[in-house]
Amino acid sequence: MKRVTLSHGSGGRLMHDLIKGLFIKELKNPFLSKLDDGACLNIGREKILFTTDSYVVNPIFFAGGDIGSLSIYGTVNDLSVCGARPLFISVGLIIEDGLEMKILERVTKSIKTATRLAKVNVVTGDMKVVEKGMCDKIFINTSGVGRRLENFNLSLDNVRTGDQIIISGSIGRHGVSILSSREGFEFDNKVKSDCAPLNGLLSRMGGLSGEIRFMRDPTRGGLATTLNEFVEGRRFGIVIDEGEIPVSGPVKSVCELLGFDPLYMANEGRVVIIVSKKASKKALSLLKNHPQGKGARIIGEIVNGYKGKVCLKTETGGLRLLKMLASEQLPRIC
Amino acid sequence: MKRVTLSHGSGGRLMHDLIKGLFIKELKNPFLSKLDDGACLNIGREKILFTTDSYVVNPIFFAGGDIGSLSIYGTVNDLSVCGARPLFISVGLIIEDGLEMKILERVTKSIKTATRLAKVNVVTGDMKVVEKGMCDKIFINTSGVGRRLENFNLSLDNVRTGDQIIISGSIGRHGVSILSSREGFEFDNKVKSDCAPLNGLLSRMGGLSGEIRFMRDPTRGGLATTLNEFVEGRRFGIVIDEGEIPVSGPVKSVCELLGFDPLYMANEGRVVIIVSKKASKKALSLLKNHPQGKGARIIGEIVNGYKGKVCLKTETGGLRLLKMLASEQLPRIC
């Protein structure tokens, strides 16, 4: 393609191809090539996790959150699912000339509340202002540094046939919340974003660390894209049971009304866990005992067949191939 | 003020007041309150330095560099002047829908060259795409992690009367390069940005670590603003000798022509060092022996009087108070 398009930012296929074909190719090094959500680094005697994300969500305030809390939780979650304890966050602001000071204050207060909830500190920052019309109100980059938890050894290389796949709660809430706010829809049961820090929930998993193979937060591109990232280039496949995937009534309604698929809708407070069959019941009950994991479900498993593919067992008994998000479903979802 | 303005992003007085009055106040913690270019963190047994910067420079390509190299060197330099060895860099891209792929490729290749020169690795990244008109071509955030060098103990608390102030080379080149590119000026002696990594040059200073009190790269707001940051709230002042400040002929000409002051023009490959009087000659000669330090000069000293102020001894023999940049001199300089 001759130009970068919105679809390149979707978290789906085009983005993956651009990242591999350009960034990984040019900037090649052992850390980057892993294509993980964060980089695991050895500094002296310590194992550090380092991650970054820019937030351009539109609108900046939405039901259940705003760009401030999202920017903190997103980075906290990237560190958490990589098996690290999130510690330190940087905040880089790009602000449009003329932004109301009240908005900046509200976003800053939201960052403050989020850091307290997630038990992290914003330790360094930067602010740039660009001319009116040269950015959309405010963009935030957060980077995060965490300490890798010794007992976790998370890698897709450890995945075995029969391993179970757990989702920590109902899917699609963040995407539907943004969509509703953006379109000005007012539904009776307004869907709130699931935007939340995962480190509290995942700290419950410490005792099962040896049995947990891999974790990811299904953000841009949704659950379907995350599952595809699990199997890409691997000698195993995934079969998911459609009937087991938790989707709330309101999310289902909005998606049906507007022609979106909840499987591809962004989440900002959910985690997908691949866990050994043996430990899966225990993992599920640990999750369910935490307020953020009440809706957890085992939704499928790792299979020997369908190598590199994700299959959905539909409620009508059929099998459907679930691909990675192919183009932009919703721009600027985070 | 009711709105954020371009002047809040200048690196000068308004930015300082906003950072203190809003961000530091709300997000208060011991790391952030130091207001350093980077945060010094203890993780387990290691001392880590962590820093972030967003780059919104306009134009993205300019004489002597581009947004790609600038984004790497800027973060490398922030780590270096804090007394750390830069190791790992994250790159967060915000791209405007429709950006030519060739431009993205050129920027990526420039990032690659810069990381090789600065001996750092890009280890993690993120890419967002926003609709046409919602950002200006491309913005880049880089965050950096470095290992603190044991022997350095850089703090303004260590500064003593009589300490000498060194600048590593002629000032104002980055600012004038951007200004010239932006206005489409074609001068005979085109000024190239000084955009360069400082870690090579500063590694020469290792032997003098005990004598070096503090270092800063005078970027946004220029040399005058950096010197004011040194004295703010301190029980010492600075006297600078105008005749000793290295400014190249072409930089002087452009500034005179357009009514800018080189003392407030941004630099992207210079360092200001406060060093003990005893070690100042040695430090100067070490700098001068490196290609990036050839133009180094002792430009002034720490004085007991003029507490919290920077005074310029003019070439005509007068004394002039040098204030922090008060408003926006040039927006989007980095």
* The pLDDT value given to residue A139: 98
* The pLDDT value given to residue A183: 78
Residue A128 has pLDDT above 70, yes or no: yes
Q: Report pLDDT digits (tens) over A112-125.
A: 999 999 999 999 99
* The pLDDT value given to residue A130: 97
User: How far off is chain B from A120, nearest CA to CA, in Å?
Assistant: 10
Mean pLDDT of B147-153: 88
Using 50, 70 and 90 to split pLDDT, how confident is the model at B1?
confident
How far from the centroid of its chain's Cα atoms is residue B282's Cα? 24
Mean pLDDT of B301-321: 95
Q: Report pLDDT digits (tens) over B90-114.
A: 999 999 999 999 999 999 999 999 9
- Return d(Cα A41, Cα A148) in angstroms, integer: 9
* The pLDDT value given to residue A187: 63
Residue A189 has pLDDT above 80, yes or no: no
- Return d(Cα B51, Cα B78) in angstroms, integer: 7
Q: Report pLDDT digits (tens) over B269-296.
A: 999 999 999 999 999 999 999 999 999 9
Using 50, 70 and 90 to split pLDDT, how confident is the model at B150?
confident
* The pLDDT value given to residue A52: 97
* The pLDDT value given to residue A100: 97
* The pLDDT value given to residue B21: 93
Using 50, 70 and 90 to split pLDDT, how confident is the model at A76?
very high
* The pLDDT value given to residue A326: 80
**With an 8 Å Cβ cutoff, are A108 and B23 in contact?**
yes
DSSP category for residue B1: -
Using a CB-CB distance cutoff of 8 angstroms, which residues of chain B are in contact with residue A31? 88, 121, 123-124
Q: Report pLDDT digits (tens) over B76-95.
A: 999 999 999 999 999 999 99
Q: How many helices (H) and strands (E) does chain B have?
A: 9, 14
Q: For residue A315, give the amino acid letter.
A: E
Alpha helices by DSSP H, chain B? 13-18, 25-27, 67-81, 101-118, 173-183, 199-203, 222-231, 249-258, 277-288
Residue B59: asked if its preceding bond is cis (omega within 30°), the reply is yes
- Return d(Cα A215, Cα A272) in angstroms, integer: 6
* The pLDDT value given to residue B75: 98
Using a CB-CB distance cutoff of 8 angstroms, which residues of chain A are in contact with residue B49? none
* The pLDDT value given to residue B325: 84
Question: Counting Cβ atoms within 10 Å, is residue B148 exposed (0-12), middle (13-18) or buried (19+)?
Answer: buried
* The pLDDT value given to residue A269: 98
Of residues A19 and B35, more confidence is placed in: A19
Q: Report pLDDT digits (tens) over A287-332.
A: 999 999 999 999 999 999 999 999 999 989 999 999 988 876 688 9
In Å, how far are B33, B189, B239, B267, B324 from B309, measured between CA atoms? 21, 35, 9, 22, 10
Using a CB-CB distance cutoff of 8 angstroms, which residues of chain A are in contact with residue B97? 4-6
* The pLDDT value given to residue B190: 83
* The pLDDT value given to residue A330: 83
Q: Which of B5, B134, B331 sits opposite A135 (nearest CB)?
A: B134
Long-range CB pairs of B181-189, under 8 A, 24+ apart, other chains included: B181/B59, B181/B61, B181/B62, B181/B63, B182/B58, B182/B59, B183/B258, B185/B254, B187/B250, B187/B253, B187/B254, B189/B249, B189/B250
User: How far off is chain B from A47, nearest CA to CA, in Å?
Assistant: 9
Express the helix, strand and coil content of chain A in percent, nearest 5 each: 35, 25, 35
Residue B4 has pLDDT above 70, yes or no: yes
- Return d(Cα B193, Cα B216) in angstroms, integer: 18
Mean pLDDT of A204-233: 94
Using 50, 70 and 90 to split pLDDT, how confident is the model at B188?
low
Give the pair of three-digit tokens for residue B173.
């080149």
Residue B187 has pLDDT above 70, yes or no: no
Using a CB-CB distance cutoff of 8 angstroms, which residues of chain A are in contact with residue B45? 44-46
* The pLDDT value given to residue B36: 78
Q: Which of B6, B91, B122 sits opposite A129 (nearest CB)?
A: B6
**With an 8 Å Cβ cutoff, are B127 and A9 in contact?**
yes
Q: Which of A127, A147, A327 best probes binding to B when mutated, by most B CB atoms within 10 angstroms? A: A127
Mean pLDDT of A261-279: 97
Mean pLDDT of A231-255: 96
User: How far off is chain A from B21, nearest CA to CA, in Å?
Assistant: 10
Give the pair of three-digit tokens for residue B51.
């820093």
Using 50, 70 and 90 to split pLDDT, how confident is the model at B184?
confident
Residue-range domains of chain B with CATH:
36-148 (3.30.1330.10), 156-322 (3.90.650.10)
Long-range CB pairs of B150-153, under 8 A, 24+ apart, other chains included: B150/B47, B151/B206, B151/B209, B151/B210, B152/B83, B152/B209, B152/B212, B153/B83, B153/B209, B153/B210
Q: Report pLDDT digits (tens) over B263-272.
A: 999 999 999 9
- As a whole number, the mean pLDDT across chain B is 94
Percent residues over pLDDT 90 in chain B:
83
Q: Are B63 and B190 in contact (CB under 8 A)?
A: yes
Q: Which of B43, B54, B126 sits opposite A126 (nearest CB)?
A: B54
Mean pLDDT of A45-68: 96
* The pLDDT value given to residue B182: 86
